[in-house]
Amino acid sequence: GRIINNGSVSAHVPRPGSATYTTTKHGVTGLTRTLSLDGRAYDIACGQIDIGNARTEMVAALGERAKAAGEAPPPTIDVGLVADAVWTMGTLPLEANVQFMTLMATKMPYIGRG
């Protein structure tokens, strides 16, 4: 079998005021690593997609807060791209696994968020 967990770039580079969300996503990363290790004996592969700024209600709210503060809204990607990534990972043969994938808007300030 295969497990694909929903991570976040926030676990690597958090936003201000995101302690609960970021901590939870760190937990998902630990779960992914543990399931990958424990699942080997049972032919269970486990991977994770760390998503950054998919166009969802949560990210729309971030954009509204940015606009209210006189800032540009964050760059986003179509949420369908996340579905495509899940499909790509999910259709791999069990002899292969994408352990971690980062999928984000190209112009998202992942390297050097500020």
Q: How would you write the pLDDT of the chain (114 residues) with one tens digit per residue?
A: 999 999 999 999 888 888 999 999 999 999 999 999 999 999 999 999 999 999 888 888 888 888 888 888 888 999 999 999 999 999 999 999 999 999 999 988 877 655
Q: What is the DSSP string of 41-82?
A: GGT-EEEEEEEE-BSSHHHHHHHHHHHHTT-PPPP-B-HHHH
In this prediction, residue 90 carries a pLDDT of: 98
- What pTM was estimated for this model as a whole? 0.86
pLDDT at residue 20 in the model: 96
Q: From CA 3, how far away is CA 39, in angstroms rounded?
A: 10
> CA end-to-end span of the chain, whole Å?
39
**Per-residue model confidence (pLDDT) at position 108:** 85
- C-alpha radius of gyration, the chain, whole number: 15
Domains of the chain: 2-104 (3.40.50.720)
Per-residue pLDDT, 59: 80
As a whole number of angstroms, the distance between CA 8 and CA 110 comes to 11
Output the pLDDT for position 114.
Answer: 54
